[in-house]
Amino acid sequence: SLCYGTNGRRGMNISTNSLNSLLYENTLMGDVQTFWKGFVLLCKIKVSLSPLCSQGLFGVPELSGPAGFQMAQHQALREAEFLVHKACTHPPGAVTVETFDQLSDSLCRVADLADFIKVAHPDAAFREAAERTCVEIGTLVEILNTNVDLCQSLKNLLGNEAVLATLDSDTRRVAELFMFDFEISGIHLDESKRSKAVALNVKLLDLYHEFLNGSQLPNAIDKQVLPEHIRHCFSIDGNRVQIGGLHADSPNDLVREAAYKIFLYPNTSLLLCLDELLACRHELATLVGYESFSHRALKGTMAKTPGKIIRATSRDFKMMKEMKKKTHTTNPEVMPWDHAYLSSAIRTEMFNIDPSIYSPYFSLGACMEGLNRLFMQLLGVYFQAEQPKMGELWSEDVRKLAVVHETEGLLGYIYCDFFRRPDKPHQDCHFTIRGGRLREDGVYQLPVVVLMLSLPPPSGRTPSLLTPSMVENLFHEMGHAMHSMLGRTHYQHVTGTRCSTDFAEVPSILMEYFASDYRVLSQFARHYQTGEPLPENLVSRLCESKRACSAADTQLQIFYAALDQVYHGKPQYRSTTDILREVQEKFYGLPYVHDTAWQLRFSHLVGYGAKYYSYLMSRAVASMVWRQCFLQDPFSRVMGERYRREMLAHGGSKEPVLMVQGMLQKTPTIEDFVDALVLDLNANVKSPVL
């Protein structure tokens, strides 16, 4: 579609403890901290800035307060009106596609920013204003996607062979992508059906909001229902116990069981919401000519994957059962609430993995310096600390980085929202705030992104110390960021991560392989107090521990992907819970638990509807790229340049299979993807990836 998916001055304040922590970490790490040293000066400058320098969020002047979203929205609507008129009246040519992209950019610059602020800003007024803007812009996009005159201007272009012959391949592809958006929105329908399609899309926006909000709400139960000795493990509000998660890492199996059964207890209104959401999606898909919503969303799936993977899981579940017997529990059978905990227990017992052993070697400053060095070696790219203006940030602990190429100069900006804070979502995400594109004046519009993590903040004289999983997540999200920074497409509609869903996760998952390689870790992992390097044997044990129960974890992902496909296939005319039970019995090795509705916590149904399989596809591609291109030398500049040239640079302007083909220098098949997943599982049992 045309658009993808306290006050501002608070960002200028910084506490003495935060400043001391930054100073302390820089002092300890010496030369390893060359990148972070810039932050110390920035913190000092920030305190002395005059209020006259105040700007809005991300430097957008209107967004100095919540009301600014209304102004930004109105400005985008005025621009949209002008650009629609231009597209409809200008003779067909490259300018037609450029105008469409300007229209997309105008709307996305507001909608993408609002999409982030509605979940991340600490001020509820900002969040609510951003949410309203998302709905308004989303509604406009659905109307534009069924605008007959606008579509006709694109048809005039695509139907003119002489003009098409003058366009470059990227421009033709972007024109075809815009036309595809029109087609799946029902542009070919008569007026009444087009209106119905718009109404269904607008209704879906409301249903998405309702489902996502409901999926995050805790469930409450009378505290007398729970045994007294475990009540303290949960939040108590008067006579009610609030359970807002699965407590999957609790060593107490009764706590895990209670949390699972209560948190996943069916919510009637949310079940109806999901039913309506799926029904609306199916109605929309059939209205515009597709057999199902899944057919509308996909052209291929990982259908051949499950059989091969499932056969590898019996060993994992056997180990889990043996581990559970050691706990002397009343129920020796492995249940769904045991999966995460027992997997962790097995890893700890087999490999003596304790995150506290590793964290002192993984200060945030050291990890960022490691990423800085890696990107410089692979791609000739480095980070540079930037001074934000007053009001530009939404929280005092956010940091702004410029991404610079050694010869090309400034590539874009990354805002690092890394630390935990009250009311901040506990999720690791990459948000596009502004996409890159070649502007009408010939200047490249630099991309802007946010990386949002949930890391422990510095405390006293102790820097922010990361667990191994936090390090992996940091590398993962930075993979998304570099995809956005290094995409150099003519059109923002296809820039960076605005690409096929089953390709978007490849750069981020590939970075996880670098985060598990001792040659990479040894460049920066130093004890924050002694400077001692992380021992190689600890990395070997860590890598091997990640492989334990990996087949069962992969099978769980297959179950999720299969459930997503069934939900979005032809209507089943039965409850989503009955469907869940059947799919779980077929694709997952653990039983369905009576009176639970896990699907109501499956928030990916909104963002990845009919596309959850993409995680598996992307992991397979990343595995192939790592093994063939980087396993021998993770710092290869030759391979790094090929990676940028063949994969990162194109965003969505090139077919994903062609990008993978260019990187691997062969055409992969579905069987190759499946074999890559199986090879990872088999290889993982034998040795770590070092």
Give catalytic residues, as residue numbers: 477
Q: In this structure, what DSSP letter does residue 602 have?
A: -
What are φ and ψ of residue 219, in 5° steps? -105, 145
Q: What are the CA-CA distances from residue 3 to residues 128, 147, 150, 486 (Å)? A: 20, 15, 15, 21
Write out the DSSP string of 291-342: SSHHHHH-S---TTHHHHHHTTSHHHHHHHHHHHHTTT-S--S--GGGHHHH
Do the beta carbons of residue 389 and residue 425 sit within 8 Å? no
Length of the chain, in residues? 690
Do the beta carbons of residue 395 and residue 417 sit within 8 Å? yes
Question: How far is it, in rounded angstroms, from Cα 119 to Cα 109?
Answer: 17
Question: How far is it, in rounded angstroms, from Cα 624 to Cα 633?
Answer: 15
Q: Which candidate, 618, 359, 586, places its Cα nearest to that of 499?
A: 618
Give me the helix-helix angle, 339-351 and 550-567, nearest 10°: 160
CB within 8 Å of 526: residues ≥ 6 apart: 29, 32, 361, 366, 532, 533, 534
Question: How far is it, in rounded angstroms, from Cα 240 to Cα 444?
Answer: 56
In this structure, the number of other CB atoms found within 10 A of the CB of residue 275 comes to 12
Residue burial 39-71, b: 16+ Cβ < 10 Å; e: rest: bbebbeebeeeeeeebbbbbebebbbbbebbee
